[in-house]
Structure 1
Amino acid sequence: MEEVTAKVNKITGQTYGSQGEYIITFHMDNSTARYAKSYSKKYGYYHIDYDDIQSLQMHFPEYIPYKDNNYYGKYVIEWGYDVEEGLCKLMIEGKLTLERKKQDSKILVKFEWVGEPWDAEENRKLKRRFPNRNL
């Protein structure tokens, strides 16, 4: 199995479920980081979806919060910001590794964060309605 490292310095949440999908995209500088997900006509190659997030929640519950946690109530966007911060912390600690398809073979992708740590509190577009979450 081939192993590669994808460098990331920015994360964007596409919808946080507002259109029925939970998509998070990784970026390096002003382009998308390679190997995040298999191809999607809508999002290209460089995203993770809710299946990936759920898998990470099972392995790293202290980093990736559960969407249905009472803490978030109906404010899914708040959950999305905390997922982004948790993903960054996993990358900084070298724990974010995902298996991906590449044509007919599989590759193991290790995601590496380069740059300042991602802070969910600084990256919120709306004023937070809840007390800070400790990760």
Structure 2
Amino acid sequence: MAAIVYDALLLLAVLFLATALLLPFNSGQAFTSNQIFFPVYLLAISFAFYGWFWTHGGQTLGLRAWKIKILTVDQKPLSWRHALLRFCAALLSWTVVGCGFLWLMVDKNQRSWHDHLSKTALFMSPPDK
């Protein structure tokens, strides 16, 4: 959970920057709820953030701090397809009040819903030398 919080703070900063870059195209005005492009844009930025980290080393900064890696179940690096499946499934896990994340407490392999759906898993990284 600490890695999730750490990454959420970093993602929040990225989303603030992404919004600042987009504001001039909206005449500097706040985005309204009837502008569907803005939430889709933020979702795409969020996927790009996580997808890039997951496909380039399997670690976000939060995961790196806790020495955790995301790999496929056969311990291979994630492809963009795996990253997209994991991202979409993680959204599903959050939409049911986080039950998809809590599932790992009852799963014999300690895998969450998005791990199962994307055929990925969390692995502890070997200690640095």
**TM-score (structure 2 length as normaliser):** 0.30
Using CA pairs under 8 Å that are at least 6 residues apart, name the structure with larger relative contact order, 1 or 2: 1
More helix by share: 2
More strand by share: 1
**TM-score (structure 1 length as normaliser):** 0.29
Instruction: Tell which structure's C-alpha radius of gyration is larger.
Output: 2
